[in-house]
Amino acid sequence: MTAKGKSASASRTRRTAPKSNKKPTPTTKSTADKRAASKLAAIEQRCAAAPREVAPRLELAAALLKTGAVERAIDLLREGIAAEPAEARFHNLLATTYLLQGKGDEAIRELEQSAVHGGPSAENTRLRAAFLLDHRVNRPAEARAALESLYVKGDAADEAGLCLLLRAELATGDKAAGFATARRLLLAGTTDVNALVVVAQAALHEGKAAALIELIGTLPKPTQNHPAIAALLWSAHAQLGDQKSATLYEGLARRGVPSVFSSASHLRRFVNEITGGAHHG
């Protein structure tokens, strides 16, 4: 056989050589799993060394949830509640776990138990209201009633609580109350998008587009660039007849489809809603 023939035969041999059965080296994922297991073991040791301490038990429950050991985490939290029924952190984490499982009613009951054993608190009320407003529970009237006991009298209130109250008022269809709460939030310096939308709706209905543009101009740039805020500016400039600016903000608003708005028609409904159907541009 010529040298050329030998070379061709060797080439064919290389191409038809059987695949190696050698096992691949451990992947990055398996290494990460080993680190996670080692971390979990360390937390378990701390928990075993101080069985009556709250922090290690909470840390272990959270770590178990991350690994998918949900039932074991729930058992651990229930044991903690049996030992320390007034410890709100056990109740709160267990309630959050139930909510993530889609067990909204059980989550609410757990928070109510926390209030029974630990006494009512603004933090518990806010958390229970947030759960009631969650789409998996969807009981906005109850959330509103709970929050009004804290905020409706005009007492000093935190932004998070007022934002929840605003959501509850809008969810129950009370736009007048929502506007009052939104204005209160704005006076406190909020950049909450829901509050801005409610105030903008009232401003555009009253023909105060210029004032609305001025107000939004005082907000931080990230807030101004939010697609919902861009849609407000689109409507405001259109109301003033500034088509060039309206087109600019229309483009910014449309960039939010579908990340903020589910579709272009959803965006159009949003614009019509905040302007009372007056904007058809």
Which residues fall within 8 angstroms of residue 110, CB to CB, at 6 or more apart? Answer: 91, 94, 95, 98
d(CA 104, CA 78): 17
Q: 136 with 99: CB under 8 angstroms?
A: yes
Residue given tokens 């555009």 in the structure block? 204
pLDDT by residue (tens digit) across 124-140?
A: 889 999 999 998 899 99
pLDDT by residue (tens digit) across 204-258?
A: 777 888 888 887 787 777 777 778 788 888 888 988 999 998 888 888 887 765 5
Q: 196 with 184: CB under 8 angstroms?
A: no
- Check residue 105 and give its pLDDT: 92
- Looking at the predicted structure, is the pLDDT value of residue 167 above 70? yes
Structure-derived torsion over alpha carbons of residues 171, 174, 177, 183, reported in degrees to the nearest 10 = 60
Q: Which pLDDT band holds residue 180 (cuts at 50, 70, 90)?
A: confident
Over pLDDT 90: what percentage of the chain?
A: 22
Sign of torsion over alpha carbons 22, 26, 29, 33: positive
Sign of torsion over alpha carbons 50, 54, 55, 60: positive
